Structure 1
Amino acid sequence: MNASPVVELVGAAYAYQDGPTVLSGVDFGLAAGRSTALLGRNGSGKTTLLRLLSGGLQCAEGVLRLNGEPVVYNRAGLTRLRTTVQLVVQDPDDQLFAASVGQDVSFGPMNLGLAEDEVRARVDEALQALDITALYDRPTHLLSYGQRKRAAIAGAVAMRPRVLILDEPTAGLDPHGQERLLEVLGRLRESGTTVVMATHDVDLALRWADDAAVLSPDGLRTGPVAELLADQALLDAARLRRPWGAAAAQVLRAHGLLGEGEPGPRTPQDLARWASAVREG
């Protein structure tokens, strides 16, 4: 990435108490307006990395920087960080706690000491972005799983962060729920929000993200998503399967139907459009 990172880890390491080192020597920066898929096997350190980026954990070694300045882990420093970077955890029940959706989404802005009309504007904006305006007065315990996921994300969006970090946001959602969530994330990206998603779904990563960050026993590798997810040695080390689109591109190139520099299909729809263009050409 050429742009200066909004938030970045430099030489970061972390080990849980009485446990092995989870991450070591990690350099990872997030530039404005990019979407990044974070991939790796279970236990590779994805959630730990996300919590380090959001200030939920503090590096044992290395530094977390916000807009180029080291983050100070006091009340003022963490407030500054969390007005820029918001983390949404995997299980929405670990995040939702208020009696109603409106109350839950308003909690963060209220803690910033904003005026009541500004809080309400942010809540309305977030609920609209997540397409859950009708749930404003709904008790959180009466929401479906997909609704709880979106309500948890709305709480983060109401803080108007520049960076939104999501830990396995599509886990537990049916295909329709996944598509609705991806549409929401697409709108947030278009508005300039940097979005980071930890996921096990390599096909989703390939079609959704600009960049990928892959954790393996050899460390963290970052780069354009299509490039990294075509690297079979990296995928094997991270215990990830090759994405559908990357496999299709390999077959097309083997038959001379796709040039080395040409991007391959990321979805079945891409392949159908490509095939139609070849037939018409």
Structure 2
Amino acid sequence: MSDVPLVALRGVSFGYEDGPAVLTGLDFGVCEGRALALLGRNGSGKTTLMRLLSGGLRPDAGELTVDGRVVSYDRKGLTRLRTSVQLVVQDPDDQLFAASVGQDVSFGPLNLGLPDGEVRARVAQALAALDITPLADRPTHLLSYGQRKRTAIAGAVAMRPRVLILDEPTAGLDPDGQERLLGTLDGLRAGGTTVVMATHDVDLALRWADDAALLTPDGVHTGPVAASLARTDLLAAAGLRLPWGVAAAGLLRARGLLAAGQRGPLTAEELAGLA
């Protein structure tokens, strides 16, 4: 695995028109094969950061790189970027627009000018990956919220990106829907897709991610998820609470029920299994 981040922002600053700077001098990288949770309070810049990574916004200063190569913001450069990085926004209704599921998922590959056979293959594989093959002909306006979420993700997966960025993908889903989606993401990761997830759920981040990136007023702090989410100073700066799993592990170690270095329970079910 290369030491060069797969996609990175270098010295990036950005502010919206007539507003203050949202990000200033930011250095941030996504490493291939590492599941990354992006956390921070509302207004911390998570959405801006994701849109900069995916080319939806252009930095006022600094640069975006893929495999160490600077991205250009002309048509050719952005097309190349979007075959490597895809962003799925929080509300699927902001992303779905075609009449049926299959038509929506095919939109990106068709825009790449791929042959019809390749488009059909990509759509079929994306629908299967998201477990929505039976919905291919279903009108998008008749889908449940969870089905719309999966369809939006399938549209991004059909582009076969190396990095898939998801903004609050489990928001609005019931517990079963969340678990099914996490299983789907595990399958995508096993297939070689690097996944970045923005979330407010520190317990979910601790369970799912390899690394955590916490956005605070003085910048972004990235490191292994368990160590990062045990730092109460970073959590306070990012407006986050201590994860249940970190608190439970600390209590178990204090009472001699968990050895030093042994991973603690991440769910109530795992805690019950220790009894």
CA–CA distance in 2 between the matches of 1:2 and 1:108? Answer: 28
In the alignment, is residue 8 of structure 1 matched against residue 8 of structure 2?
yes
Bigger Cα displacement from structure 2, 250-259 vs 87-96: 250-259
Q: Is 1:3–1:32's contact at 8 Å kept on the other side of the alignment?
A: no
Secondary structure at the aligned position of 2:6 is classed as: strand
Bigger Cα displacement from structure 2, 174-183 vs 46-55: 174-183
Equivalent positions of 1:222-241 (< 5 A) are 222-241=222-241
- Unaligned runs of 5+ residues in structure 1 are 277-281
Q: Is 1:93–1:148's contact at 8 Å kept on the other side of the alignment?
A: yes
Secondary structure at the aligned position of 1:5 is classed as: coil
Alignment correspondent of 2:105: 105
Shift of 1:91: 0.6
Query: What is the identity percentage for the equivalent residue pairs of Structure 1 and Structure 2?
Result: 72
TM-score relative to the length of structure 2:
0.97
RMSD: 1.3
Alignment correspondent of 1:43: 43
Q: 2:123 is aligned with what amino acid?
A: V
CA–CA distance in 2 between the matches of 1:28 and 1:193? Answer: 19
CA–CA distance in 2 between the matches of 1:271 and 1:182? Answer: 20
Bigger Cα displacement from structure 2, 119-128 vs 233-242: 233-242
Alignment correspondent of 2:255: 255
Alignment correspondent of 2:184: 184
CA–CA distance in 1 between the matches of 2:227 and 2:110? Answer: 43
CA–CA distance in 2 between the matches of 1:232 and 1:50? Answer: 25
Alignment correspondent of 1:159: 159
CA–CA distance in 2 between the matches of 1:2 and 1:69? Answer: 14
Q: 1:150 is aligned with what amino acid?
A: R
Shift of 1:25: 1.9
Alignment correspondent of 1:57: 57
TM-score relative to the length of structure 1:
0.95
- Unaligned runs of 5+ residues in structure 2 are none
- Go from structure 1 to structure 2 and tell me whether the alpha carbon gap of 1:123 and 1:223 turns closer, same or farther (over 3 Å shift): same
CA–CA distance in 2 between the matches of 1:163 and 1:2? Answer: 15
Secondary structure at the aligned position of 1:34 is classed as: coil
Bigger Cα displacement from structure 2, 11-20 vs 126-135: 11-20
CA–CA distance in 1 between the matches of 2:212 and 2:2? Answer: 15
Shift of 1:51: 0.2
Shift of 1:257: 2.9
In the alignment, is residue 270 of structure 1 matched against residue 274 of structure 2?
no
CA–CA distance in 2 between the matches of 1:173 and 1:13? Answer: 34
CA–CA distance in 1 between the matches of 2:203 and 2:110? Answer: 39
Alignment correspondent of 1:279: none
Equivalent positions of 1:89-128 (< 5 A) are 89-128=89-128
